[in-house]
Chains A and B, each alone.
Chain A
């Protein structure tokens, strides 16, 4: 079964695309770095999770219990989730840009790249906000951390 991308012939594809060939070649060049960043954030998320679990159980914090441990768990859950979402968005943009190599630019690839660009910049912004809020919270409740 043909994908909807394949149904477009060359004329339709170029007529419906938002980016020209020069822009497409730049996106293709950037796709490697995007994918690299995506994989890196996935690995960072995994390392954060493992390090957190290791620290939690080795330090005996779980055994001690108390209200502080809930805050620490929430803190790390937010960081780990945000890191994985960053990885997903970078990898999505990388895949969308890499897809331009096959068959050039068309409407569907343009849609995917624009949506992925929005996702990446929004995620970096929200991630920065989360870090700032956590930093302010940890400064305010310094004793806890």
Chain B
């Protein structure tokens, strides 16, 4: 096993040893992150498939009237944009988690990994808030409709 200094030199030929720029993950940490990266790749595939299904839904547009087509197009484009952002951050996570898992001591990988974690969970959180708001609005409209009926 190489010393950190020699590992850094092997990975960065010509570079100088800067202890502040090195990580010190244990083998268990590396294994955990590598596994997490593997699952992230699986999620990339799933999200990619759902993006393809969204694109297929666009093929139904000619059979819809203009109002339905506008709503379907808007929802599909928003879905594609969100899915695209999620896929991007999953790929960033995958790349850096796998790099750390392979034994890289470069601190940049850990920094990119943390930024992908922050972006992914912030995106999930904001999405959930939006979904909850839509749900509450739906409930409010349903309640109003029920009040009209009774």
Contacts and interface: CB of A to CB of B under 8 A. Distances in A.
Interface of A: 15-20, 22-24, 26-27, 29-30, 33-34, 36-37, 40, 107, 110-111, 114-115, 117-118, 120-122, 124-125, 128, 132
B40 A110 contact: no
Contacts, number: 96
Interface SS majority for chain B: helix
Nearest 4 pairs between A and B by C-beta? A33-B125, A23-B114, A121-B39, A18-B25
B122 A18 contact: no
A20 B37 CA distance: 20
Interface in B89-118: 93, 97, 107, 110-111, 113-115, 117-118
Contacts of A34: 121
Contact of A114 (B32, B39, B93, B125): B32
Given A117-B33, A117-B36, A27 B118 contact: yes
Q: How large is the interface on B (under 10, 10 to 19, 20 to 34, 35 or more residues)?
A: 20 to 34
Nearest to B109: A23
Contacts of B32: 114-115, 117-118
Contacts of A124: 39, 43
Interface SS majority for chain A: helix
Nearest to A23: B114
B110 to A, nearest CB: 5
Interface of B: 20, 23-26, 28-29, 32-33, 35-37, 39-40, 42-43, 46, 93, 97, 107, 110-111, 113-115, 117-118, 121-122, 124-125, 128, 132
